[in-house]
Structure 1
Amino acid sequence: MTITQPDLSVFETVESEVRSYCRSWPAVFDRAQGSRMYDEDGHAYLDFFAGAGSLNYGHNNPVLKRALIDYLERDGVTHGLDMSTSAKRAFLESFQELVLRPRDLPYKVMFPGPTGTNAVEAALKLARKVKGREAIVSFTNAFHGMSLGSLAVTGNAFKRAGAGVPLVHGTPMPFDNYFEGTVPDFLWFERLLEDQGSGLNKPAAVIVETVQGEGGINVARPEWLRALADLCVRQDMLLIVDDIQMGCGRTGAFFSFEEAGVVPDIVTLSKSISGYGLPMSLCLFRPELDIWEPGEHNGTFRGNNPAFVTAAATLETYWSDGSAMEKQTRARGEQVEEALISITEENPDDVREYRGRGLVWGMEFHEKARAGRVAQRAFELGLLIETSGPESEVVKLLPALTITPEELDEGLRIVARAVRETAETV
């Protein structure tokens, strides 16, 4: 694909140096629909990024767009803090009827603010308030957000360094298979909890991702998650599952922890909960944990009513028969896995491992810098993919759940080509 160098001058002179994705994809995007984005010159890009998981149902999904336009055209409330509105009521009723009740989940719903890290901060604060303890245990290679509390339970050294202050009251433990099966699960963690001389303060909670997206697509086994849940019960710790990127159907079921059969005490959701890419997040928790005083945790933009509208439309469109969405995602995931098997077999000396669940997959290379070159070549060929892992050593595939089999196959062929062609340049 021949690309004319776009005019990036205003971004380079006015916007902060902190910008990142635009450096990997030097195009000026103008419109998007479904699984494709278009730059201002009309070049099309197949999207295997999906707004970092915020667009599980594609760009400008027509059903969700219609609901949003109708709401705005009738002058529906756009900003309402935590006031009761018809849009919020419609979302809560849909969420209760289509998500919570079918799964026998009794959670109370809190709107802590519009982003994922807002939900994590609320979860950590609530856990500490309930248990009266400060310490939180997280896991190696975890990512939970960019505000200070979330960074304290994030593993990435580069992200943590940006805080500029000590990140306290968080203790990391080994994630599943961190020692590649040579150490029994939770041996170190439980020993520290039981040893009065270990120096580990009794944690209020444990926070975990069932699949570590930013950490390199590290997939926790169901039995590991069940053992963690049991450990939390035995040691009087709350279990927090961060489902911000892996929830809303990304791994197949609506919640990523369903396969393991665990019921977390607290769950955080964001990204695709609005369905349309509009900022929205939820903190869900068992009713007995709802000990907040009115106004004790608030935020100006926690009541994003346009997001409530698209979120309700998303649930009614895609989750009124949740099994259909789940089956489709799993089928698309099998399509991805087959392609990654072929790529691995064709490049046995280059690909270290592929791994994933549902429609989140990663491919790790022996040479860590290779992943970045694959992503760059894929962009040149018209595909948007990013890298993940502590050293950006994993190519990350995160297409929309609504992508067609033909689009998925097209993108996977580009990935295979990018792997081949970057091998030739080494």
Structure 2
Amino acid sequence: MKAAERTLEPTAACGLVSASAWRGRLLLLWVHLFVCCLSLVYVARFYGYTGAVAFTQAGLPTATLVVPLLAAIAVFFALARFSFGYFVGFYLYTLVAGYAWLGVFSKFPYDRTLSLASAIASLIAFLVPVVFITSPIKQFVVLSDAAADALRGAILIFAAATIAAGTTYNFRLAGIDSIYGFRHTLEFPAPLRYAIGITSNALLPYAFASFVMSGERLKAAVALLLLLAFYPITLTKLTFFAPPWLLFLAIVARVFEPRATILLSLLLPISAGLLLVIPYELGAIPYELFIKYFSAVNFRMIAVPSIALDVYNDFFSTHQVTHFCQINLIKSLVGCTYSDPLSVLMSKNYELGNLNASLFATEGIASVGPLAAPLAAAVCGLVVSFGNRTSVGLPPKFIILSGGLLSQVFLNVPLTTTLVSNGALLSFVLWYVTPRPVFTAWSD
């Protein structure tokens, strides 16, 4: 074998990648895993009073036994090609890794061995389709370049109209620490509620990504300002942090290749939170300044989705599963044991507030229990892989930016809600009809 040939090895996606490249990526993944576990140690230190997260020296040997298994799963991301499923899959990998670590120290009395095995199996069952099903779907409907330009302008107009309608029901300039005192009072008509979720999570990121790719910075800024304008209407952290998050993704994607961008999009913010611990403990920065960042990133963005999986496992270990009746359509046809939404149900049983959760917790544990959860995860993976197929041919940077908020939504929201209420399905449609030649020209 020639020396040049020995530097290339086949990927699981049937392509070729240099051995040094995938090994370097694997090392970065392992660093990410270590940083996540270390972050959770400090989360337990600062938020142990909630009773939902803990850490003990006695449990450390057991916790470290889980890490090699998670490190082995990281090979998926070291070898596979970039896709939307890669993006979502890596975020959910981080969620399950966090749960695997936290579960060792959990104070809840359910069978954690069974639940951990179920979570790992569910993760693998989800990753196989979302990472490896990337064949394109033939475009039978394609927008002309002029129609695509008109669509982006129409999105800005529709967003402005949605914001105007939303302000008639709620407009409050509340600080980020005060939103929970008002959120329970918010009520929107169903059409407006859907319009807000779809516009903020799918339409405006799509428009922003398009404007960034075409170099239309002013219009990109308008898209971000419109996105921020949803905050006083919805009082959600996601809408508050959405503009800086998309800007952060745009900067990282400009410097690094797509897969490294995805890895660094979590590793860098988590690492920043850990680095802030040092000046805080030295007294160089006040607690209030430190905890604002650490709470938003290391606790809320990273730890809470894993905590939610722990909580759902505990609750449904002693309560009847839903058989998907939390989905409104199914509830209207067959009824449901639970009258409250799952998030409210968790709030009534745990002192953690309304706790929405990912597909692993809802379509998995809550709906069918730990034994059948991997099957549900596999089906969810097949659905998400449809997004891969509709986006083939689009520049990775465009997919990262237009799907940048959906990746966050997948951490905290059931798949069915993400598809419909938060616009993931519409994003798939938009990717499908988007003309490839103009994007190819922009990316050159």
Whether TM exceeds 0.5 here: the answer is: no
Q: With structure 2 as the length reference, what TM-score do the two structures score?
A: 0.23
Q: Which has the higher contact order (CA 8 A, sep 6+)?
A: 2
Q: With structure 1 as the length reference, what TM-score do the two structures score?
A: 0.23
The structure richer in helix per residue is: 2
The structure richer in strand per residue is: 1
